[in-house]
Chain A
């Protein structure tokens, strides 16, 4: 399959390598000389799986995802290799990257309100995104949009499609962003702190929705978060980053039950807990 073709129907093979990032370094020029905000990061995402990237502020987790999308802020340069379905993404023109975004890779951001235009109905915004990539009639785009809203479990989608962003709650708006990303049937979905701005009960619903949709579509996912507990619930594989550098990676089970890096251990220690699992053991050892 070729990246250049406008629309290829791809049935993801579970476990096949979807994204392969090798020695990714992202550099920004500053008055004090170039600064590497991502240093030699390597990881892969399998079809149908979720890679969780965890780190604190300044860890480079968001810059990594922007590099994959070809959306680095002005002045930023990426070196190394980013291969999607075996095709190199680095070094492609803006025009080619516009095709990749949406068709192959879609992104959901933290704040759904600032990602949506308040002046247009949500339906129009999803239709626009769909038609920009797939063309076709407005009528078809509208049907696809309503279907996408139904898939993200928005009740009464045929009516809600004509509502404006402010008429939806924060959780509903995030569902709309997910619908917009998924109606393009991307191979890879990058979710950057998608539940951080949401209340905990709403967060639980969105996490469940993402897991269900992934099962239905087989999309690979990169889930970026600062929250270790969230990542433990959504990801099969975990990459821990700090100051732009790779700290530790492995399966979620390895990272959470047998962390090797002192930083990972410190992060886990610092995590406040509703139930402290160490209480009992601490009591025994003292």
Chain B
């Protein structure tokens, strides 16, 4: 196993809901994340899969330090950041960035692309060496957008392009770890494939590590090196991608894999042969 860039140990998050004063008395405690431990391989991708209510998004928010865990520890790059103060948190934020699900609701519609992409830099008071303009151009080019479109607004882009802007913003502070929370779920399948290809090539170029959270098992299979399967706040199974997908041990993982709709393998095989023959003929 390669060295871990992020280590989560026994993370637990409980939410306390107060009674409504009329029908429900007292308080109830809900454990959204229950004793969860995992490692993110440096330069690799940890995929977290689960259905709604599995606790995967709460886990993502803990790892991004948007919320604090009730107990457990989070270690980034060898440093315990669980109770990081303002200064340590600022350093953490320049190393860890998030790409969210809905590109349009996570981009300010009144800001230009340039302003959106440089917001993390302003927030952290970082002045890029070659100037902001040059950095924005470079980032747009890197994510496959036209660098001349820096002064445009989010509404002028398609969903896939908007998600590329979200990725460019995450890359602005040169992070080591990017958390993708259902980052391709809202996209059409052909667009989704392109964004996944982009994420993979950025990882190779920049040595990024990813936490890739998704409900779609097939998408996780494409991008993850290691996989954790969550159900009801717990990790029921985790390990090497191929091991989890090809030799699932836990009943829940098996049920989840069985439920994924698949195209008749015979049809697929016939198409593959047809394409291979056409390729040979061309």
Is B245 positioned at the interface, with any CB of A under 8 Å from its CB? yes
**Any B CB within 8 A of the CB of A156:** no
Q: For the complex, is B51 an interface residue (Cβ under 8 Å from A)?
A: yes
Q: How far is the CA of A272 from the CA of B272 in the complex (A)?
A: 15
- Are A227 and B270 neighbours in the complex by a CB distance under 8 Å? no
Write the A56-81 contact mask toward B (1 if CB under 8 angstroms, else 0).
11000000000000000000000000
What is the chain B residue whose CB lies nearest that of A232? Answer: B263
Type the 1/0 row for A222-238, where 1 means its CB is closer than 8 Å to any CB of B.
Answer: 00001111101100000
**B192 at interface, CB cutoff 8 A:** yes
CB contact between A201 and one of B193, B221, B256, B279 (< 8 Å): that residue: B256
The verdict on A201 contacting B219 (CB below 8 Å), with A272-B193, A281-B272 known, is no
Select one of B259, B267, B275 contacting A232, CB under 8 A: B267
A267 CB–B CB distance under 8 Å: yes
Q: How many A-B residue pairs have CB under 8 A?
A: 114
* Known pairs A257-B271, A281-B273, A285-B276; A203 contacts B261 (CB<8 A): yes
The chain A residue with its CB closest to the CB of B279 is: A285
- Smallest distance from the beta carbon of A238 to chain B beta carbons, Å? 11
A200 near B221 with CB under 8 A, answer no
* CB contact under 8 A between A274 and B190, given known A201-B256, A259-B271, A281-B273: no
Closest A residue by C-beta to B273:
A281
Point out the residue from B215, B264, B265, B271 that lies within 8 Å of A268, measured CB to CB. B271
| Chain B CB within 10 A, most for which of A202, A268, A275 | A275
A258 contacts chain B at the CB level, 8 A cutoff: yes
B255 x A201 contact (CB < 8 A):
yes
* CB <8 Å contact, B218 and A272: yes
Contacts of A285 in B (CB 8 A): 276, 279-280
Chain B interface (Cβ within 8 Å of chain A)?
51-52, 159, 188-193, 196, 215-219, 221-222, 245, 255-276, 279-280
A interface residues (Cβ-Cβ under 8 A, vs B): 56-57, 170, 199-204, 207, 226-230, 232-233, 253, 256-259, 265-275, 277-278, 281, 284-285
With A256-B264, A270-B190 known, 13 other A-B pairs at CB within 8 A are A56-B191, A199-B215, A200-B261, A201-B256, A203-B259, A228-B189, A229-B260, A229-B263, A232-B261, A253-B264, A257-B268, A265-B275, A274-B245
